[in-house]
Amino acid sequence: MAIPVQTALTHRPSWQALQKHSSVMQSVHLRRLFADDTTRGKRFTLEECGLFWDYSKQRITDETVALLLSLAEACGVSAKIDAMFRGDAINSTEQRSVLHVALRAEPGESYVVDGVNVVHNVHAVLDAMTVFCNSIRDGAWLGFTGKPIRSVVNIGIGGSDLGPVMAYEALRHYSRRDLVFRFVSNVDGTDFVEATRDLDPAETLFIISSKTFTTQETMTNAHSARSWMLAASCDEQSIAKHFVAVSTNASEVSKFGIDTANMFGFWDWVGGRYSMDSAIGLSTMLAIGPEHFREMLSGFHAMDVHFRSAPLGSNIPVLHGLLAVWNTNFLGAGSIAVLPYEQYLKRFPAYLQQLTMESNGKRVSLDGESITDYETCPIIWGEPGTNGQHSFYQLIHQGTRVVPCDFLGFFRSLNPLSRHHDLLLANVFAQAEALAFGRTGDEVRADGAAERLVPHRTFDGNRPSSVFLADCLNPRILGSLLALYEHSVFVQGVLWNINSFDQWGVELGKLLAAKIVPELCSESEPSLTHDSSTNSLITKYRSMRRAT
Ligand code: F6P
Residue with CA nearest ligand 1 atom 8: 159
Spatial neighbors of 66 by CB under 8 A, at least 6 apart, are: none
Are 15 and 69 contacting, i.e. CB atoms less than 8 angstroms apart?
no
How far, rounded to the nearest angstrom, does the alpha carbon of residue 182 sit from its chain's CA centroid?
Answer: 19
- Compute how many other C-beta atoms are within 10 angstroms of the C-beta atom of residue 85: 16
pTM of the entire predicted model: 0.97
pLDDT of residue 2: 45
**Helix 290-309 vs helix 118-137: angle between axes, to the nearest 10 degrees?**
150
Q: Specify whether 510 is catalytic.
A: yes
| 352/162 Cα distance (integer angstroms) | 9
Contact 158 CB / ligand 1 (< 6 Å): yes
Residue with CA nearest ligand 1 atom 2: 506
Contact 506 CB / ligand 1 (< 6 Å): yes
Residue with CA nearest ligand 1 atom 10: 158
pLDDT in tens, 199-217: 999 999 999 999 999 999 9
Q: Which of 77, 54, 137, 8 is nearest to 436 (CA)?
A: 54
pLDDT in tens, 522-535: 889 899 999 999 99
Are 46 and 480 contacting, i.e. CB atoms less than 8 angstroms apart?
no
Are 228 and 153 contacting, i.e. CB atoms less than 8 angstroms apart?
no
3-state secondary structure of 337: strand
| 105/119 Cα distance (integer angstroms) | 7
Ligand 1 center–CA 285 separation, angstroms: 21
Are 117 and 97 contacting, i.e. CB atoms less than 8 angstroms apart?
no
pLDDT in tens, 180-195: 999 999 999 999 999 9
| 436/407 Cα distance (integer angstroms) | 13
pLDDT of residue 7: 65
Are 275 and 257 contacting, i.e. CB atoms less than 8 angstroms apart?
no
pLDDT of residue 49: 98
Q: Which helix (H) or strand (E) holds 232?
A: helix 216-233
Averaged pLDDT in 10-residue chunks for the chain of 548 residues: 63 98 97 98 98 98 98 98 98 98 97 95 98 98 98 98 98 98 98 98 98 97 98 96 97 94 97 98 98 98 98 98 98 98 98 98 97 97 94 98 98 98 98 98 97 98 98 98 99 98 97 96 92 97 92
| 2/34 Cα distance (integer angstroms) | 42
Please give the mean pLDDT across all residues of the chain.
97
| 476/374 Cα distance (integer angstroms) | 37
Total residue length of the chain: 548
Burial (CB count within 10 angstroms: exposed 0-12, middle 13-18, buried 19+), residue 449: middle
Ligand 1 center–CA 177 separation, angstroms: 29
pLDDT of residue 4: 47
Active-site hit among 358, 383, 486, 519: 358
Active-site hit among 11, 390, 451, 507: 390
* Closest ligand 1 atom, residue 247 Cα: 14
Q: Where are the beta strands (DSSP E) in 364-432?
A: 379-381, 405-410
Question: Could you give the count of Cα atoms lying within 13 Å of 452 in the half-sphere of its Cβ?
Answer: 0
- Compute how many other C-beta atoms are within 10 angstroms of the C-beta atom of residue 178: 8
Ligand 1 center–CA 141 separation, angstroms: 29
| 212/250 Cα distance (integer angstroms) | 9
Question: Could you give the count of Cα atoms lying within 13 Å of 367 in the half-sphere of its Cβ?
Answer: 10
